[in-house]
Amino acid sequence: MPATVPDQKTWFDPYLRDADRSQPRYETMAQNLKRTLVFNNGIMPLGLLRDCMEYALNDNTRIEGVFQAVKSKFKVAGGRDMLGTIIRIYDFRNTRVAHQEKDITDPKEAQQNLVGWITGSKALTEAS
């Protein structure tokens, strides 16, 4: 990350020439990365991690600045498995824990998902 504020502004707000402008996801991701890296108050860290991994592994849009750094740091060996783990944790957290769109009534399912969350979090911690 650049050290000076003017350079950071450019780095977190790169020219989005090749990006699909109908979707604000790149702007949102860049803003959340800035909040996380500069101000240490990002929104939904697990979602940001998912977005970074998806961009690095699955998005061929060429964007400079922070997106170039995301590509170089998150395109790692075993990344697709990590992304799968992150998506499973994220989906369970969002639909069953944080927003409770669907009740958890099956203890076996709850145990399986919570064990997956814990082991997945451990694996992600060890990978960093």
Q: What is the pLDDT of residues 52-87, one digit of tens each?
A: 999 999 999 889 999 999 999 999 999 999 999 999
Which tokens hold the place of 14? 């790169």
CB atoms within 10 A of CB 113: 19
| Same domain as 69, residue 13 | yes
| Same domain as 49, residue 106 | no
Residue 89 belongs to domain spanning: 79-127
Domain ends where: 74, 96, 116? 74
pTM over 0.85: yes
The C-alpha atoms of residue 10 and residue 73 are separated, in whole angstroms, by: 19
The C-alpha atoms of residue 8 and residue 30 are separated, in whole angstroms, by: 11
